[in-house]
Amino acid sequence: MTLLKKHGNFQKDTPAERNIRFGVREHAMGAIANGIQLHLTGLIPYVATFFIFSDYMRNAIRISALGETGVIQVMTHDSIGLGEDGPLTSLLSTWRLSAPCPTC
């Protein structure tokens, strides 16, 4: 997870903090970021996940692109040489499917 190191986790008891932990919920993460951008002016949300898991948030990415929301989407670990999982986290099909995205 990408953290803002000077800030804590946004929770019921700490609503002024800025980090939201989603766990393994890529679609929810993308959809919530779109909602934050569209309904709370002045905020620029960003989300980060492994590139291979972007398949799970494909619809949220599509809505973000079509709506020109301005959500910053960071996809990491896109090489077979990264991490202990090697090629499991880098499929060529993911690259081909992401190509038609209008703002990617």
User: Of these residues, 17, 26, 68, 84, which one is catalytic?
Assistant: 26
Residues 6+ apart with CB under 8 A from 49: 26, 29, 57, 74, 75, 76
Using CA atoms, how far residue 76 sits from 23, 38, 51, in Å, is 16, 25, 5
Q: Is 17 a catalytic residue?
A: no
Residues involved in catalysis? 26
